[in-house]
Structure 1
């Protein structure tokens, strides 16, 4: 018997395990750009941000809880957009590079557009 056939498993849990969110190609491209910027300039992002970018760039499916983490990251870091060098192609700020690692504006828009699907799976 599999997890999904178990009559004792809450249907909401089954949904949470089966509902994956695949990053769109636009988000994957921005994350890949973030990795390239970090390699070129040697700054921006943390080990967690690099791992997130690798997953997004590879279009690895995300669970609802991961979508919540990404939404939270964007909410906490929205002020970095005011930094000097934001999106400067010659000398981008570390914040810009980190933002790109997490999927950039495309990533933020995607996570927010999917909020109605992932949020109910994260509350309880």
Structure 2
């Protein structure tokens, strides 16, 4: 596959990222400046390049363990890991990136 191929994030990924930014603002935690930048990219539904797919794949692989946290998606006090996960597109983002990465192999 040529390196010039780009992939447009889904509306659901954009919605998850927007929700992540809302929760981050409300609770003052979750994600880094890199995660916030990724969220803004997903919300804008900017085309992602292969390097972005690889970066997102690596993020999800490293942070899947966060899902075992005590307050993962607790509506009253979501964990920082949950908020960060949303910034990167949430479960839909992980599934989408997994599929796109396979296309790149």
The residue number in structure 2 matching 1:100 is 86
> Within 2, Cα distance between the matches of 1:115 and 1:66?
10
Is 2:26 the partner of 1:40? Answer: yes
User: 1 or 2 for the larger relative contact order (CA 8 Å, sep ≥6)?
Assistant: 2
Written as runs of structure 1 = structure 2, the 5 A alignment for 1:20-59 is 20-59=6-45
The residue number in structure 2 matching 1:16 is 3
Ranges of 4+ aligned residues in structure 1 off by more than 3 Å: none
Is 2:36 the partner of 1:69? Answer: no
TM-score (ref. length: structure 1): 0.81
Structure 2 regions of 5+ residues with no counterpart? none
TM-score (ref. length: structure 2): 0.95
- Matched position secondary structure for 2:48: coil
Aligned residues: 105
Structure 1 regions of 5+ residues with no counterpart? 1-11
Written as runs of structure 1 = structure 2, the 5 A alignment for 1:110-121 is 110-118=96-104, 120=105
What are the superposed Cα offsets for residues 7-37 of structure 1, whole Å, 9 maximum, x if unpaired? xxxxx6xx212x1110011111101110111
Structure showing greater radius of gyration is 1
The RMSD of aligned alpha carbons is 1.0
1:117 is displaced (CA, Å) by 2.1
